[in-house]
Structure 1
Amino acid sequence: MKLKFDYKKVYSPYINGEFLETDDQKTIDSINPYNNEVLAKVRLASPANIQTALASAVEAQKTWGVTIAKEREAILLKAADIAERRRPELAKALIDEGGNVFGKAMYEVDYIVSTFRIAAGQTRQIRGETMPAEEPNRISFTYRMPLGVVVGIGPFNAPLLLNSKKLAPAIAAGNSFILKPSPYTPIIALLFAEIFHEAGLPKGVLSVLPTADEDLGDTLFSDPRTNMITFTGSAKVGNKLQALAGKFQKRFVPELGGKSPLVILKDADLDYAVRSAAFGIFFNQSQVCMANSRIIVEDPIYDDFIEAFVKHVKTIKVGDPSKEDTAVGPLISKDAIKTIETHIEDAVKKGAKLHVGGHMKDQIWNPSVLSEVTSDMKVFDDETFAPLVSVYRAKDYEDALAKANDTYYGLSSGIITNDLQKAFDFSLRIQAGSVHINDNSFDDDPNAPFGGFKGSGHGKENGQYSIADMTQLKWVTVQLGERPLPF
């Protein structure tokens, strides 16, 4: 696979239409998590760089915010075409820097192409409405206006997909956008700068600021020039940022991960349930916020499910993420390895049974399955974000539903059953932002609202749902003639 993006050079923050090099920038190595090869050096945005980015974003938005819809549409459509043309290269970057397996990388590139095109269409759908007035001879209506400067703080696990659903609608709505990517995947984030630069996006509308300094990220909250922050990451960091958002009166849309349940009832097709459950947890090394890390199986088929599931998990191919048949590749960092080690060790020590896995090679952790997990174990409600799943026994449907809701999180969920009554009942009573009937919890669609309940955050991403968050509604009245006044 030929790679146009040159890993041998030093990459710099993208600010005001250029890749900016300044003497005050520190550098980090971009590392391939599979073989620990240094891919490139990346310059980090300095405090002064951030101030430059903010100033240019404010200035650019004054013009971009009043650009007509068809011009914003044209740039987003061109960006989609460029991403589609560079599809193999983008996928290679996801494999090399993000450790993504081949299939996931190709899926993610296709997703951002759709995201750009959907955002292009949304430029023509940003509408207000008229409404009945309470006074005579009055016209009452609303506008939807851009917010101004939107900041996106992105994760490492799907750095094209998750950042595109922040960036594209923000630009479509007439905002300028500042992206602060994960320090694990800075080169991938800078691909957005290349794509939109080629697409003709005016300078200053997009900035990409790699940084490993969280204090610099906090600056984006405290600065009065930023109007909204959208964040995908851990609940621990998200809760800290939520406090900052409240302190500085920022609009904040967080997606904070999950401990998503997959309920399998006794009438399910066992073979399909096994394969669906395995894909729903082990896709992308389980570094997926909506992975079904809790599998809840109704008692009559529990033993058969465990036996078949463990047998199937042992067949999952792990290894080099660039090979097309690899299903599980490397974890992103030593911290991720430490987390799964801790969760397994704690669970087994407290009485859980480890059926398969529990070891690693070359930073690749073999898919691991626990049962007999109890609420005093760390894995019960902490997000592992690594290839580990807990399987629970449920007495009946009501017990399965109760177990599914017994978590701090509420991002996604799934149920596999042929009982339509229970399936729809589950969709109404499960405390999760997404429900997938006869499917696992892993699903996302650039047209559908994505976001969680409870500790998984609030607000929705994708298409028109992002546009609603990234615009502000203004009420306008027109008095026809003189308004009657009491004095």
Structure 2
Amino acid sequence: MREYKLYINGEWIETETGKIVDDLNPADGSLFARVHTAGKKEVEAALAAAEGAFAGWSSLLASQREKILLKAADNIEALREEAIEILIEEAGSTFMKANGEVTASANTLRVAAGECRRAEGEVLQPTSNGQLSLAVRVPLGVVAAIAPFNFPINITMKKIAYALAIGNTIVLKPASYTPATGYLVAKAFEMAGLPAGVLNVIPGPGGIVGDILVEDPRVKCVTFTGSSPVGRGIAAKAAKNLKKYALELGGKNPLIVLKDFDAAKAAELAAYGSFYNQGQTCIATSRIIVEEPLYDAVCEQMLKQAKNFKVGDPHEKDTLVGPLIDPSQCDFIDGQIRDALSKGAKVLCGGTHEGSFFQPTILADVTPEMDIFYQESFGPVVSIFRAKDPAHALELANDNEYGLSSSILTNDLNLAIQLSLKMQAGMVHVNDSTVVSTSCTAPSGGVKMSGFAKESGKFSVDVYSELKWVTLQYADKKR
């Protein structure tokens, strides 16, 4: 049986709490591995290690940090088979999704390596004669990264790679559902020669590990991806010490289909966004808002698309929908569907599950009185709405507390631009799904209850650094 230990100060150590938890396969509930979890003593050791390593790591030349990040990227690719196995067995990822996640993780590391040399300040206009005025960009210190279960390697890389590039040190808390992915990340960096203490990986319960990391004054920034309620709690706790935070939270993402667009193509894009990774992605297409003349055609084409999504063993390369991370999520979605049906909605397909495998589900005639109109499902479930015209479609799209990703499908470029500027979302994609190919350079993040701050590429530099004003008086002032 596999056993994963904590990674603190460059060493793999056993927990002193005595708590070693079972890591279960979501597909069948079988035991995948056993994982050592951190208690207060291990959290303290990780924070002390990160704080102690900061001076040395931040003083390295950009080219030296760049070299390590590039080696880590090569290592992730070399560990592809092991990474895919962990993602399938622990996270329930399909083979296609797992393989793509490994590639995206390596790409993220390589882009972050480039940011080592791009994290620059500015020369400012002097405020007096004989003065050199500089805006110097400096790292924050210790960054706490709290990762999600749905893309546990790539999102973790997005959090830690840029922070490391700028000179910060890291304490990583992997998601409780996917702790072994944290081990894989640490292994890739260890093989790359990352100095001891720069990255520390400590799985454990959020009520212990997470709370300490968020509240400890040695942590200068918290980066979190997960649910909006948890994110709000993190923001409140982080604010007590006025520390920075970056939050990518939930979404109820709309895809608008206007009457001039092809119904079959719209359904293809919408189905991919709705059912990819079992709908377990913050940017999943949750709401399809269709202009009235095209409504019936889109419903018909969505039914055809749903039949193409094979549900089953995630090891099989043609499987597109694997298990949800926890059977209790099926119960939650069942409740949403029952509520919607009791209030007049129709199930066009799906609505059933076996174990953790939920069938791709399409609901029609959903109204604001139904829980699913506003609630995130985090499963392969999508609702279709009628819109009288583009203005009504925009109104429906914005009628939600979330604002993460969104899509507009139309051949009218002028209208697409007008709607894009009025969409209350951090990301708007014209003539594409709400789930687009991962970008390592675009500003990723949401508005409203979908999060705070933008990450990826140069935008992560702003999150994980601060500007310091430095002046040098090289000649006597003329007063």
Following TM superposition, the consecutive aligned residue runs of length 4 or more in structure 1 with deviations greater than 3 angstroms are none
Match of 1:480 in 2: 474
The reply on whether 1:131 has 2:124 as its aligned counterpart is yes
Which sections of structure 1, spanning at least 5 residues, go unmatched?
1-7
Match of 2:278 in 1: 285
Match of 1:65 in 2: 58
Match of 2:153 in 1: 160
Which sections of structure 2, spanning at least 5 residues, go unmatched?
none
Match of 1:454 in 2: 448
Instruction: For 2:315, give the aligned amino acid.
Output: S
CA contact (8 A) 2:5 2:15 kept: no
- TM-superposed deviation, 1:213: 4.2
- TM-superposed deviation, 1:484: 4.3
Aligned pairs for 1:418-437 within 5 A: 418-437=411-430
143-152 or 333-342, which moves further after superposition? 333-342
Match of 1:105 in 2: 98
Deviations 1:92-123 (CA, angstroms, capped at 9, x unpaired)? 21111100011111111000000111111111
Match of 1:271 in 2: 264
CA contact (8 A) 1:189 1:208 kept: yes
- TM-superposed deviation, 1:22: 3.7
- TM-superposed deviation, 1:215: 2.9
Deviations 1:260-318 (CA, angstroms, capped at 9, x unpaired)? 11001111111111111100110000001001100000101101111221232133211
Q: Distance in 2 between matches of 1:420 and 1:142?
A: 41
Which residue, 434, 441, 462 being the options, matches 2:434?
A: 441
Instruction: For 1:116, give the aligned amino acid.
Output: L
Aligned pairs for 1:88-487 within 5 A: 88-443=81-436, 444-484=438-478
CA contact (8 A) 2:257 2:289 kept: yes
Instruction: For 2:189, give the aligned amino acid.
Output: F
The CA RMSD over aligned residues, in Å, is 1.1
Q: Determine what percentage of the aligned residue pairs are the same residue.
A: 45
- TM-superposed deviation, 1:34: 0.6
CA contact (8 A) 1:321 1:328 kept: yes
Q: Distance in 1 between matches of 2:237 and 2:127?
A: 39
Instruction: For 1:392, give the aligned amino acid.
Output: F
CA contact (8 A) 2:54 2:169 kept: yes
- Structure-2 change in CA distance of 1:438 and 1:22 (3 Å): closer
CA contact (8 A) 1:25 1:45 kept: no
Decide which structure has greater strand share.
2
Q: Distance in 2 between matches of 1:28 and 1:291?
A: 31
Give aligned pairs, total: 478
CA contact (8 A) 1:314 1:356 kept: no
Q: TM-score, normalised by structure 1?
A: 0.96
Which residue, 4, 16, 21 being the options, matches 1:23?
A: 16
CA contact (8 A) 2:238 2:244 kept: yes
- TM-superposed deviation, 1:88: 2.1
Describe the SS at the equivalent of 2:452: coil
Q: Distance in 1 between matches of 2:473 and 2:369?
A: 64
- Structure-2 change in CA distance of 1:400 and 1:22 (3 Å): closer
